[in-house]
Structure 1
Amino acid sequence: MEPRVFSFLVDGDGGRFFGPGPMALLVGVRETGSLSASAKAMGMSYTKAMRILHDAERALGCALTVRSIGGEGGGSSSLTPEAEDFLHRYETWRQGVSAAAHGGFSAAFAGVAGVPRLGCVVMANGKAARFGRQKLIESLRGRAVVSHTLDALASRRLDVIVATRWERVRAICEARHVTCVEPAGPLQSDTVRAGVEALGRRAGYLFVQGDQPLLSGTSVEALLDEFAAHPACAARLAWQGRAGGPVIFPGYLADALLGLEGDVGGGELLRRNPDLAGATRLVEARSPAELDDIDTPSDLERVARELAAMHGASESGQDIWPDRGAGSGAADGPGGADGPGPASE
């Protein structure tokens, strides 16, 4: 399955006056020096060619060809400077529309009929120094922290890679049939690079912290929907307009992600590029708890209480999440120093 895009222009009354056919007709005039010859090569009558030409000239308000009569070889036609300028503009626009359509198609139909899924990198390579031991394998209601995070990523649109150097984390993930890759070093940029390299070229790359166990699949799907609608922009989960994570980056940033150096993640791209940061799409989480990560044992205790409360509410028939649909909008920025940065550990 692949997209096929046809770009047409309409006049003020909604009538179509220019598209691939008229463009081919004018290009033929340029190449053959004859409207008649161009029409014949397209299997078109001369009368129809004249009608197409006149419709375009009327809509644009200028002549597109200059015709000369007589001479040794008979009459001829050539394009006016206005026609050459218009063809250049149309082709530039057509290429842009096609590129945007292909990007949007790859994001919207990821995982359908052979279209590659979006990539997802679970950042699970950190030392967990503040916690004092490997937090991702800590028990949270009888299951490892990282296992709860993976629950939210069971989307048909995602290929998930866990980037980790820790054997026990790898064992938990592989028991769930989730692919793991070992980064070349301990830095965040090493983790990002390992994940992107393992996934290869994708329309987008979702980065998720391994210690984000209250993340919901509903919010992940809303984030993917927002990215599909705006595939040239980064998209981030947020609460009340405050940016957090996960975050998804467009595929065209793959080389920039691979080129990161030092103990920085994808958030560094937003810090370097104010335009990218300003165009970032924010998707409201269903609960602020979804953005919580675990840095200390007390954080784990707090998350365990929140998770217990959620399960208690669910068992009693209550809605465990506030009724908040996924909202969107252009962000004012990447959330600032106070907000959690994407692709960090």
Structure 2
Amino acid sequence: MRPDLRAYLLGDDGRRVFGPGPVDLLERVGELGSLRAAAIEMGMAYTKATRLVRDAESAFGFRLTQRTVGGSGGGGSRLTPEALDLIERYRSFERTSRWALGAAYATCFSGFRDVPRLGCVVMASGAGERFGGAAGEKLVAPLAGVPVLERTLRALPADLLDVVVVTRWDEVEGLCDRLGARCVRAEGPLKSDTMRAGLAALGERAGCLFVTGDQPLLGEGSVRAMVGALTHEPTAIVRLAWRGRAGNPVLWPSDTLGALAHLDGDVGGRALLAGHAELEGRVRTIEASDEWELADVDTRDDLARLEAVLADRT
């Protein structure tokens, strides 16, 4: 399946005055030097070709063709400078519209039939120095008997997201193997290295969710609501929030993924938002069910605190 688009320009009365047919006709006039020859090549009656050109000229207020006299063919037609400008503008408009249509289709129909699902990068490369122990140990540390990273992965619905875990640690890779979760290695220690590796592993996507691996109380319902928000508004940057305060995870639309892949240094997507009013204006928030969905595990005290939260819930 694929989307299709026919881009038309309408007059003030709502009637079509320019579109795929007229622009093809004009381009052939430019190639063949004759309106009659262009009509014949398109299998179009000359009277219809003449009407299309005259209707467009009437709507735009300028001539599109000029008669030429003499020559081996006994005369013909050539395009005016205004017609050449119109063709260029229309083709640019058509290309841009097709790109926007394709992006919207890939987002709104992600996971439907042969359309790829949205991507999801789980950031699991941090050393966890504040947690102590071996590098990456906090991600495999048990929280109420279940590893922190495993609880995070449980919130990511497989019917909506293609998930890749990006790490530098053998213990994390081993856990992913046991869970059947896709895992790739980051080439460096920086956040931008992790993001770049995840995006490269996923390939082209209509959007990508970035989740920290140490966010174990994230809820599947919130993730589904975030995906729903992007589907409703394919250019939105969707963030999970608590009482209006935005946090992680963040779901980025397709037109931002290239910029995210080219970030440098130990920075994430917030660096892309900082100082960019247009991007900041596209941020939409989804309210979490409680504040603990946004909590991450930096220290062993954090882990103990989340243990108590889970105990209260049960």
* TM class, shorter-length: 0.7 to 0.9
Report how far residue 101 of structure 1 moved: 1.2
Cα distance between partner residues in 2 of 1:168 and 1:300: 18
Aligned residues of 1:65 and 1:83 also touching (Cα < 8 A) = yes
The one-letter code matched in structure 2 to 1:22 is P
Do residues 247 (structure 1) and 223 (structure 2) align? Answer: no
Report how far residue 94 of structure 1 moved: 0.8
Q: How many residues align?
A: 310
Q: Which stretch shifts more, 181-190 or 22-31?
A: 181-190
Do residues 220 (structure 1) and 223 (structure 2) align? Answer: yes
Secondary structure of the structure 1 residue equivalent to 2:17 = strand
Q: Which stretch shifts more, 252-261 or 170-179?
A: 252-261
Q: Which residue of structure 1 aligns with residue 85 of structure 2?
A: 85
Q: Which residue of structure 1 aligns with residue 276 of structure 2?
A: 274
Q: Which residue of structure 2 aligns with residue 203 of structure 1?
A: 206
Q: Which residue of structure 1 aligns with residue 143 of structure 2?
A: 140
Q: Which residue of structure 2 aligns with residue 177 of structure 1?
A: 180
Q: Which residue of structure 2 aligns with residue 13 of structure 1?
A: 13
Aligned residues of 2:236 and 2:284 also touching (Cα < 8 A) = no
Q: Which residue of structure 1 aligns with residue 36 of structure 2?
A: 36
Cα distance between partner residues in 2 of 1:248 and 1:64: 47
Distance 1:52 1:243, change over 3 A: same
Aligned residues of 1:222 and 1:283 also touching (Cα < 8 A) = no
Distance 1:15 1:304, change over 3 A: farther
Report how far residue 237 of structure 1 moved: 2.3
Report how far residue 253 of structure 1 moved: 4.6
TM-score normalised by length of structure 1 = 0.80
Q: Which residue of structure 2 aligns with residue 334 of structure 1?
A: none
Secondary structure of the structure 2 residue equivalent to 1:6 = coil
Report how far residue 144 of structure 1 moved: 1.7
Aligned residues of 1:104 and 1:229 also touching (Cα < 8 A) = no
Report how far residue 169 of structure 1 moved: 2.7
Q: Which residue of structure 2 aligns with residue 261 of structure 1?
A: 264
Q: Deviations over 1:101-155 (max 9, x none)?
A: 1122222222333323322111112122222242222332332221121111123
Q: Deviations over 1:6-33 (max 9, x none)?
A: 2111122221221111110111111112
Q: Which residue of structure 1 aligns with residue 115 of structure 2?
A: 115
Report how far residue 298 of structure 1 moved: 3.0
List gaps (5 residues or longer) in structure 1: 313-345
Cα distance between partner residues in 1 of 2:294 and 2:53: 58
TM-score normalised by length of structure 2 = 0.87
Distance 1:225 1:153, change over 3 A: same
Cα distance between partner residues in 2 of 1:39 and 1:241: 61
